[in-house]
Structure 1
Amino acid sequence: MKTLLSLNLKKYMISFTILLLIFSGSYWYVYAGNTIKTLTLYGNVEVRTVNVGFRVGGEIISLNVDEGDKVEAGDILGMLDPETFQIAMNQANGAKKRANSLYQLKKNGYQNHEIVQAKADVEQHRAAYQYAASLYNRQKNLWAKNLISANEFDNADSIKNQKMAALKASESQLQKLTSGYQPEEIEATKGELEQAESALNQAELDFIDTVLKAPSSGIIQTRVVEPGTIISSGSTVFTITLSDPVWVRAFIEEPDLGMAVPGKEVLLYTDSKPNTPYRGRIGFVASTSEFTPKTVQSQNTRTHLVYRLRIVVIDADSQLLQGMPVTVVFNQ
């Protein structure tokens, strides 16, 4: 009887042990094996800013936005007095037209009627010279016979020389007209035309730059000057906080780097919206480590080496401000 009871007790013990092992394995699989590992980091919002100003100097006649205003890319923010730039553009345009006319003249050469006129001048001066030479010869013979004074002979000689010089000048002009301009002259006028075109392009660009436009969408952070101010080129007029991109800078320790995969989405919590997280995507993981920055270190982590993360905020809004603390939550 005791032996039978002992056997039954052993069977019950074995069955209980088996059931206990099955229950333990099931519990670990359901609760421990499937537990979602989370990682929490702390960082700050990073927002880019742009200093905006005119590329030319002058007097500001209008500013269309103020601090806190939202702007879109291409919105007109302000204007300079355009009068002096309009005058400069007109002058440059006139100089270009003159340079172009001179270049076309030398490129195309002289007109036919100019050559015809030059030939007629040569014939006229040749006839005048022949008459003066003939008169000189007669006067020379008369002077040799003492029939005229030396003064009359000298006058005839002077007239002959003048007519010869006029003939040579007209022949030189005809030669110039028939051969056209030298290649060097044409290239020089072409260079002057190109310089005039460049000057006009610069004047037109300066005129366009009297209008200040927003380079990107954002919010006017600061307005530095007021209408009536005379500013130099490049002086800051507005500072714009860009609405895109907005990211969070955080730091992660080496054992957790496996969770920081570029492209992975995370949740971002702020103190102002603790129950409504933003969505973020890891965009950059630093390839070198650094000591925990003072802005995020604690007594236990100040000597730890960490890696910097840049997390792009997918659904950013105007409530995310520069430097705002953010809690970053990773899910395995």
Structure 2
Amino acid sequence: MISKKKRVILAVLFLFAVGAIAYFLLHHSRGPTDQLTLYGNVDIRQVQAAFDASGRIQQLLVQEGDRVKKGQLIAKLDPTRFQDAVHRDMALVSAQKQVLARLLAGSRPEEIAEARAKVAAAQAALQNAQLVWQRQHTLADEQYVPKQSADNAGAALKSAQANLEQSNQALTLAIKGPRKEDIALAHAQLAADQAALALTQRQLQDTQLYAPADGVIQDRILEPGDMVTPGVPVFSLALDNPVWVRAYLPEKSLGQVRLGMSASIVSDSFPGKSFSGWVGFLSPTAEFTPKTVETTDLRTELVYRVRIYACNPAHRLRLGMPVTVHISLHDNQPQNRPPDACGGSQ
């Protein structure tokens, strides 16, 4: 007959054995997991929207918290002086076009006719100068007139000959038209004026600021009336579609994860809701675990930074939000997906 004390001892030993077996089965006999769990945060991505011109802000069209689309007009500068510069350069281009057209058209028929008439007049003047010189030369030889009169007639004859030559050259130039070098110079000047016009038109366009990407206005840094120069931020734009999660992969799990593998993302803000994503980046270098990252491993272990892309059309995932990433290691073949491969609504 077993005493009551012995029965208690046997019961305690039995419970201890059962607990030891259970601990062994749970911690030593469990097979490898088919899912990798990472912890991280939705990465903060921003764009500083700035004008590419100097001037005074005339109008801001959005407020903090407004959602904007890529290419949406969000701010304007005072365009007055830029419009004046455009009008000036348009007038210069128009004037130079007329100069070039005149050169290409060549001499007008009336101009050639005028040159021919001048040649005829010069020929008549030369004939008359020859007759006068002959008479004065004869009279001077017979001493009826001073020799100076003959000399004057000879000078007039030479002048008439030079005038005829000048008229002939003017007629030749009128027939040939402008020099090709003058036409080339006019073409070059027109090109320079058109380039100046294109620049001032571009500067006028730069008085309008457009959203560089889809996102949310995070900060409205300046106000109407402020002076700006190129590169001075006017708005801070938060980019939230797609978003990506910055997490850290333990070194021992590096061989299990490849680019393009599907992942699911969960957040405490949306219990029971899972966001689909994929592995978009694996750091080629190892680093020590940052203090801000929570993992189940020791912080002294080497890790690799990993980026998990996630579609966010409903804008539920917010920048900086802590999330948990699950990557299935079973039947999860990598796919070639670009960062903008988001599909339907989440």
TM-score of the superposed pair, with normalisation by structure 1 = 0.80
Partner residue of 1:58 out of 55, 63, 76: 55
- In the alignment, what sits opposite 2:303? 306
| Count of equivalent residues | 303
DSSP-derived class of the 1:215 partner? coil
Match of 2:183 among 186, 201, 210: 186
Tell me the alpha carbon deviations over residues 201-222 of structure 1, each in whole angstroms, 9 at most, x when there is no partner. Answer: 2222222222211122111112
Match of 2:286 in 1: 289
Q: What is the DSSP-based 3-state SS (H/G/I as helix, E as strand, rest coil) of the residue aligned with 2:182? A: helix
Distance in 2 (CA, whole Å) between partners of 1:226 and 1:148 is: 97
Closer/same/farther in 2, CA of residues 215 and 131 from structure 1, 3 Å limit: same
Deviations 1:23-76 (A, max 9, x none): xxxx9xxx967x863322111211321111222222221111122211112221
Report whether the alignment pairs 1:224 with 2:216: no
Which letter maps to 2:300?
A: T
**Which residue in 2 is equivalent to 1:205?**
202
Mapped contact 2:47–2:239 kept (Cα < 8 A): yes
1:95 has 2:82 as partner: no
1:237 Cα deviation from its structure 2 partner: 1.4
User: Whole-Å Cα distance in 2 between the matches of residues 261 and 274 of structure 1?
Assistant: 28
Which whole-Å deviations, capped at 9, do the CAs of 1:106-151 have from their partners, x for residues lacking one?
A: 2343233322221121111221232233323333443444444566
Task: Provide the identity percentage.
Answer: 35
The one-letter code sitting in structure 1 at the alignment partner of 2:326 is V
Tell me the CA shift for residue 275 of structure 1.
3.8
Pair 42,166 (structure 1): closer, same or farther in 2 beyond 3 Å = same
The 1:165/1:261 distance shift into structure 2, 3 A limit, reads: same
Paired letter, 1:226: E
Out of 122, 125, 145, which is 2:122 matched to? 125
Is the counterpart of residue 48 in structure 1 residue 84 in structure 2?
no
Query: For residues 84 and 34 of structure 2, what CA distance do their matches in structure 1 show?
Result: 71
Equivalent in 229, 233, 246 of residue 230 of structure 2: 233
The answer for unaligned runs of 5 or more in structure 2 is 1-24, 330-346
Taking a change above 3 Å as real, the CA distance of residues 60 and 315 of structure 1, as seen in their structure-2 partners, is: closer
Select 1:116's aligned residue among 113, 116, 125: 113
| Conserved? CA contact 1:279–1:315, under 8 Å | no
Secondary structure of the equivalent of 1:233? coil
The separation in 1 between residues aligned to 2:190 and 2:103, in whole angstroms, is 12
Structure 2 counterpart of 1:261: 258
User: In structure 1, how many angstroms separate the alpha carbons of the residues matched to 2:230 and 2:148?
Assistant: 76
Q: Following the alignment from structure 2 to structure 1, what is the Cα–Cα distance between the partners of residues 236 and 141? A: 100
TM-aligned CA distance change 1:133 to 1:292, over 3 Å: farther
Q: Which residue in the other structure is 1:16 paired with?
A: none
Question: Which of 119, 123, 139 is residue 142 of structure 1 equivalent to?
Answer: 139
Q: 1:82 to 1:143 in 2, by over 3 A?
A: farther
Q: For residue 320 of structure 2, what is the amino acid of its counterpart?
A: G
- Alpha-carbon separation, structure 1, partners of 2:40 and 2:221: 31
Q: Give distance in 2, aligned partners of 1:231 and 1:151.
A: 83
CA–CA distance in structure 2, aligned partners of residues 74 and 208 of structure 1: 13
C-alpha contact (below 8 Å) 2:125/2:160 kept by paired residues = yes
Q: Deviations for 1:239-289, whole angstroms, at most 9, x for unmatched residues?
A: 211232210111112322344232222222334334433222111222332
Once residues 147 and 76 of structure 2 are traced to their aligned partners in structure 1, the CA distance between those partners, rounded to angstroms, is: 83
Matched, 1:86 2:87: no
Instruction: Give the AA of the match of 1:84.
Output: R
SS of structure 2 residue aligned to 1:56? coil
How far did residue 98 of structure 1 move? 2.1
Range 100-109 or range 38-47, more displaced: 100-109
Alpha-carbon spacing, 1:55–1:133, altered in 2? closer, same or farther (3 Å): farther
Which consecutive aligned stretches of 4+ in structure 1 deviate over 6 angstroms post-superposition? none
Q: TM-score, normalised by structure 2?
A: 0.77
